[in-house]
């Protein structure tokens, strides 16, 4: 796991495969290994070089001495792309990672060829604001939720009704949530970053081709907030994956992977055949095959960050 000094901090990243690069940016409290189980193998098989990163504040990456902002995190990703000579690249952002990528597309558009934004948002509405403040209050209180209780809350907030009704799959998820739960206080630096003002008007300046993925039963970043981002970005395409909650990329990996690979390979084919043009189509409700239990990635269990959502990755 290489560590490189970027933007004044030590940033940890991994590379998998060869080919055109795809950079993957996780959400609040989540390590880069979240992508190993499903997305890295699918993108490698499609001929891409996959670059995952532990965001600022996630060990072994540094938090930064004086706190940090969304602009800092976008600059971290820009610096990593430049360090690796990977630009212009394809990029994927999930939840808070999606918001980071959106700021990158505005600040450094020359570094990105196309982007997939999953479970993202462009503003903090009343519910999202209340949730973020509650999480910060919990982190600051010094109270640590018992792992089994944290796992239960995480399942309620992050999984679909279909998974909650499947007793075997639910047991597997609860086990994963329990063993991978962490204390919210350990990721306190990232918790307030989702309290963003309304950035939707600014996204009208984005010119990068974007696929925006919402998850039907997402209670953390509700699909209507994600659709707003697609509506705000000129030419963006919106697809909603049915039958999954906030962890749609783990709960319905086949559908998510198909969307990623289809979008990136279509853009690659278009670039080879002719100059790329903006994506204008809109698609809703991509069919997703029933997914099995989530497998733990090599090197450890699926690390779903802790919190009010039971050690789950924070809402954005």
For residue range 46-97, list pLDDT tens digits in order. Answer: 999 999 999 998 889 988 766 889 999 999 999 999 999 999 999 999 999 9
User: Which residue, chain included where needed, has tokens 């998820």?
Assistant: 173
Which two three-digit tokens encode residue 68?
């940090």
Check whether the bond before 21 is cis (ω within 30° of 0). no
Judge whether 13 lies within some domain: yes
Give a yes or no: residue 316 inside a domain: no
Measure the N-to-C terminal CA separation of the chain; round to a whole number of Å.
26
Q: Is residue 44 part of a domain?
A: yes
pLDDT digits (tens, 9 = 90+) for 87-144: 999 999 999 999 999 999 999 999 999 999 999 999 999 999 999 999 999 999 999 9
What's the whole-number average pLDDT of the chain?
86
**Cα separations (Å) of 223 from 267, 284, 294?**
25, 11, 22
Contact predicate 119/251, CB 8 Å: no
Query: 117 lies in a domain?
Result: yes
Arithmetic mean of pLDDT, 210-224:
97
**CATH code where residue 256 lies:** 3.40.50.1820
- pLDDT of 290 over the 80 cut: no
Looking at the structure of the chain, the number of domains it has is 1
Give 231's contacts (C-beta < 8 A, 6+ positions apart): 238
Tell me the pTM.
0.85
- Rounded distance between C-alpha atoms, residue 301 and residue 248, angstroms: 17
Residue 289, pLDDT above cutoff 50: no
Q: Is residue 93 part of a domain?
A: yes
302 CB-side CA count, 13 A: 25
In a domain, 261, yes or no: yes
Domain enclosing residue 7, as ranges: 3-124+194-273
CA–CA dist 173, 167 (Å, integer):
10
Q: Please report the sign of the dihedral spanned by the C-alpha atoms of residue 2, residue 120, residue 209, residue 207.
A: negative
DSSP 22: E
Write out the catalytic residue numbers: 95, 218, 246
pLDDT (tens digit per residue) in 297-315: 333 333 333 332 333 344 4
In a domain, 280, yes or no: no
8 Å CB contact between 247 and 38: no
pLDDT of residue 65: 64
Within a domain: 110: yes
DSSP state of 3: E
Cβ–Cβ under 8 Å, residues 115 and 209: yes
With 0-12 / 13-18 / 19 or more C-beta atoms within 10 angstroms meaning exposed / middle / buried, residue 156 is: middle
Give the per-residue pLDDT at 32.
94
């Amino acid at each position: 796991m290489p560590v490189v000094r970027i933007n004044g901090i030590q940033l940890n990243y991994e590379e998998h495969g060869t080919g055109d690069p795809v950079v993957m940016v996780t959400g609040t409290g989540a390590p880069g290994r979240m992508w190993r189980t499903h997305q890295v193998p699918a993108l490698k098989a499609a001929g891409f070089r996959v670059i995952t990163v532990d965001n600022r504040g996630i060990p072994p990456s540094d938090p930064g001495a004086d706190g940090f902002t969304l602009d800092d995190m976008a600059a971290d990703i820009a610096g990593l792309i430049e360090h690796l000579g990977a630009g212009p690249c394809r990029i994927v952002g999930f939840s808070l990672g999606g918001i980071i990528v959106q700021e990158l597309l505005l600040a450094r558009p020359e570094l990105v060829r196309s982007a997939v934004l999953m479970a993202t948002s462009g503003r903090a509405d009343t519910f999202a604001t209340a949730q973020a403040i509650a999480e910060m209050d919990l982190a600051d209180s010094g109270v640590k939720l018992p792992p089994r209780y944290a796992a239960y809350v995480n399942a309620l907030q992050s999984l679909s009704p279909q998974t909650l009704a499947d007793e075997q799959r639910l047991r597997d998820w609860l086990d994963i949530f329990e063993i991978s739960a962490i204390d919210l206080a350990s990721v306190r630096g990232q918790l307030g970053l989702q309290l963003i003002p309304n950035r939707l008007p600014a996204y009208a300046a984005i010119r990068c081709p974007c696929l925006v993925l919402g998850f039907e039963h997402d209670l953390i970043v509700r699909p209507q907030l994600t659709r707003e981002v697609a509506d705000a970005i000129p030419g963006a395409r919106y697809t909603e994956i049915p039958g999954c909650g906030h962890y749609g990329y783990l709960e319905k990996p086949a559908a998510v992977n198909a969307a990623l690979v289809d979008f990136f390979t279509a853009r690659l084919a278009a670039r080879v055949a002719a100059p790329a043009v903006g994506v204008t189509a809109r698609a809703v409700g991509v069919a997703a095959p029933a997914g099995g239990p989530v497998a733990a990635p090599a090197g450890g269990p699926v690390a779903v960050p802790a919190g009010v959502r039971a050690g789950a990755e924070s809402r954005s």
